[in-house]
Structures are given as structure tokens and as C-alpha cells.
Structure 1
Amino acid sequence: MSILKRPLLTEKLTAMNEAGKYAFEVDRKANKIEIKKAIQSRYGVTVEKISTMRTQGKLKSRNTKSGVVTGRTVSSKKAIVTLKAGEVIDFYSGI
């Protein structure tokens, strides 16, 4: 089970990178201590603060021959990580 699923790279979150804040999609069962250890071991940085949020999946529906099919997308958990001043995570170094 991997705690960190992927980094979130949107315009809003990329602007937060200048302030030393990075966002990740994490496992729904992971707590802040596990997230902190995973980030420090993978990226070699010092984590000061972690904020987590759980997002509920959106309702989706579509019309088919047999009628309306409704469902829900997958729920997820996000973590916004604040690093120690002067430290950065470079997501684009391996490209």
C-alpha cells in the first residue's frame, strides 16, 4: 500500500509552491504522521505542517437505452504539505 498516490499539479496549487506548500493525493486511510514520514523519506525534505481534507466523489448520471444510469466517482483524500523555509520539491527533475 503506497501512502502517496500522486502530486496534484493545478494552477492554484502550483502558485502555492512558491510559498513552500505542496499538495498530494494520499491514501484515504493514511494519517498525518504516516504522510509526513512518506514525504520526508521519498523527497528528503523537512515537513513543518500537514493539512488533510477528504473529498466526496461527484454524482454522475447518463442516459442509456435501458434508462438513466447513476453513480458516483471515487472519493479521495488530499494533503497540503508545508515545508521548512528554503526547501523545495522538484517534480520535473526526472522528465
Structure 2
Amino acid sequence: MRSVILGSLLIGAILCGAHAALFSCGGYAEHNFLRLIILLILVTVAGLLPSGESATAGRRLSFAGAVLGVYWLSRGALAPLYPGMPASIPEYLRVAWFAIGKGSC
């Protein structure tokens, strides 16, 4: 059961990153605060949830960091697709690298 919940946290981070990449520019900019709250809840649950004898503080923090990393990577991977497909792979990589560091817009 715990692995299903932890997997759901990672899927939630992927969906937050996808939403940030595809819908954070223009009229959807007001959703940034809501997305930040959802991501904060995901990271908090990820830091608290892994219980058991093998779940040390370092493992909990590393999983919370993994949730954040998955968010940033999914945002970076999908940002070049908005508003259209990039013309080449180098352009895709350039926009993806920019989106990982600065955001979609």
C-alpha cells in the first residue's frame, strides 16, 4: 500500500510539472500559486510518509527531493512543446534546459 501512495506522489509531481509546462503562460498564470500549494503538499507527504524501520531521515528527505526533481524534469521536458513543436532536437534541448532553470515562460 505504501508503494502505491509513493508512486502516486511521483505521478502528482509529474502532472504538476506538465501543467506548469503547458499552461503556465498567458491566461493560466494565476494557477501558479495553486500549483505551488499542491507541490508543497506532495513534498510534505513524501517527507513524512515513508515509515518503517528502514526509513531514516535521510531516505525521507531524499524521496522528498526526488518528488521536486521529478516536477522540474517533467516541466523541462514538456515546456518546449508549448505553443508548438520545436523545429529541431537542439532547439528542443535548449528550450528544455531553459525551462528547467527558469520556467516555461
TM-score category (smaller protein): under 0.3
* TM-score (norm. length: structure 2): 0.24
User: Which has more strand, going by share of residues?
Assistant: 1
Larger radius of gyration: 1
Q: Higher relative CO (CA 8 A, sep ≥ 6), structure 1 or 2?
A: 2
TM-score by length of 1: 0.26
